[in-house]
Structure formats: structure tokens, C-alpha cells
Structure 1
Amino acid sequence: MIQAIFYKEWIKTRWYWLLATLFMIGITGYSMLRIDRTIAIQGIDHLWVVMVQKDAIFIDLLQFVPLLIGILLAAVQFFPEMQRKCLKLTLHLPYSQKKMVMSMLAYGVLALVTCFTMSFIMMGVYLPQHFTSELVQRILLSAAPWFLAGFAGYLLVSWICLEPTWKRRVLNLIIAALIFRVYFLAPGPEAYNSFLPWLTLYTLLIASLSWISVVRFKAGKQD
């Protein structure tokens, strides 16, 4: 059954996933080209000095990209399903409803993992050619909260889309906006290092919110 659910979600989101992955690759590649251009004009020594003295990490263009990709994936996956009232049919399948909803969310998380992994692979291949392992680690750890924000964006917007009433959706949207802020509170490099395990757990726990919306949907809540 899980394979069938994954296939159904893949059919709904495959074109968006492809475009999102290509966009992720493109924006990451452009960030690497900017580093190349800076090295060509000002030299690698200048780049190292700026990184150490001014806390620059040179991939700032990526900051809100994972969040945007996660938000749009949730909208593509769940909003049409709610508009066409397909969720009711899905929940009547001979399978645990909670497992079904969690499987749908797991599909989205895995889709984001594959998309975001492309960016980390590109940075992992390119950055060591110009920076020491300590500086590469500094860049990747600084970017980690941005990618966690992408997963949070997906899970929170899924929660909003699955909510059956518009009034509650507006309230959920306000709550989601406040939660998003947590991932961008500290702009300095590696500012989240000690908090990253807790931020990861915090992100995973957000998945439980979608079940609240489904329970309200099953209870017949509507505008």
C-alpha cells in the first residue's frame, strides 16, 4: 500500500519535483560561479580573508530557496487534493488512516531530500577545491538551518492545506510564519551549530500537526 501511495504522490508532483530540482541545481551552480568570479578577480587569499574577518559564506542566494521549494511542494501535493475533495476517497482506502497521511508526508520529505541533496553534492565537490575542510564545514553548517526550513515549510503548508476550514487556515498560516522565523533568527555563520540537533527534532515534530487537520476533516469541520 505504501508503494501505491508513493506512486500516487509521484504522479501528482513529478513535474514540480523536476523543476524544483533543476532550479536548486541552477541556483547552487550560480553561487559557485560567483565564487569562481571573485577568485578570478580578487584572488583566493582575499576570499579567505573575507570569510574569516567578515563572516562571509558566499552562498547567501540559497538562503530562502529551500523554504520556497518546500512550501510550493506542499501546495502542489495537497491543495488540489483538498479542492477536488479527493482526501475523503483516500481516507476510505483499506489502510490505516494515520499511516496513510504519514506516508504522504514521508513521500514529500523524501522528494525534498533528493532535491536538496543535489545542492549539497555540488557544494561538497566544488568547495574543497578552493577552501580548507574547516571553511567548507563552516559553509555547509551555516546553510543547514536553511534546508531544515525547507522541510518545515513543506510540513507546515501541508498542515495548512489539509485543514478543512479557511478561518483555521488563516490562523495556521500566522503560526507557520512565526515558526519560519525560528530558522532565520541568527544570521551569523554556524550560529545554529549547538542547536542543530534540537532544530532537526523540532522540524520532525511539525509533521504531527497535519494529523490534527485530518482529524478535523474526518469530524466534518467545514466553513
Structure 2
Amino acid sequence: MKSLFSDLFAAGSDTSSITVEWAMAELIRNPRVMARARAEIATVIEPKKVVVESDIERLHYLQAVVKETLRLHPPVAFLLPRKAESKIALGQYIIPEGARVVVNVWAIGRDPRVWADPEEFRPERFLEEDIDFKCRDLKLIPFGVGRRICPGIPLASRMVHLVLASLLQRFEWKLEDGVEPENMDMSEIFGITVARALPLRAVPVVP
């Protein structure tokens, strides 16, 4: 039990920071997306004004950036296991009663049958189609779905948007040691959470 709860607390504290790190990595790697996100923030929020929670609902492109980050880099690769209460047909598969079912969220986010150009970081897809990660759309379920949805989703959603908006509003960003964005190492480590194999090291520049 001690080990289980230690894992749960560790995962809960890591997921928001990991998502922000992945979002920043993808934005630095895609300057066009970074420029559009920063332009939206500059348009919506007055200069020198601190970003507050009520601003987030007006930052539609930033919301799309977060959704695209969660699609490509979900905080955890697998949802909590489910147990089939009865025999059920799911697509072309038969799930027997009592079977333990594990949903691979990472694979769903990169499935070409579900997403067009799944390996491309393109937040615009969420402006073209209204997709929510709060159970309404099973294409995007980084926090789970149903009665076992992550109880921290309201906090995580607010914190990720606020931190990301603040970082983009206050600074321009570049990689250290002259590393070019296209040469970034985007490899992952699969554990309780899906973290970057190499931590992001970015240099803030005051515009």
C-alpha cells in the first residue's frame, strides 16, 4: 500500500509540470506555432497585465496547443485498468467476463485511423473540430473517462494553461548552446508518467 500511494502522489504532482515541459518543447520545435500562440496572447491580454484564469477562455489557440500536447504526450501512457463485468463485443473483439482491460492512451493519440498526420504537431486541428478532453470525445482522453476520470483534471487544466500563457507572454525562448529546433531530442521515457528522456533546457529572452 505504501508503494502504491507513493506512486499515486508522485504521478499526481508530476503530470502538470511534464505537460508544460512537453508543450514548451513542441512550441520551441515549431516556431510558427510559437509565434501564433504569442501573438494571440499579446492581442487578448493587455501589455504588462498578469495572465489570470478568466483570460484562458479567450485564448482559443493556446487551448488548442494544450490539447495537441496532451494528444501527442499524454501524462500517462495507460489509463487505470478496468475489469469487464460481463462478456461484451467491442468492434471486432470479444472481451470476456472478468478480463482486465488496459487502455493505451498514447497509442490512440498517434493512431492514423483516428488522427490525420498523427506525428505532426498541429494545434489547428482542434480549431477545425470541437474536441474536448473531458469525456465528451473518446478520441482524446488523457485524463481517463467515466467514473474513474482523474479527479485532478480541473486543477491540471487551469495550471497548465496559466503557466504556459505566462511563460509565452513574458519571454521569447531559444535553446541553449546553439541547438537548432529541428535537432531537438524528443524521445520519451515510459514509466508512471511519460517524461522527456532529456530534460528541456531553454533560455528565456526578454523581448
TM-score normalized by the length of structure 2: 0.29
Structure 1 or 2, whichever has the larger Rg, is 1
Structure with a larger share of its residues in helix = 1
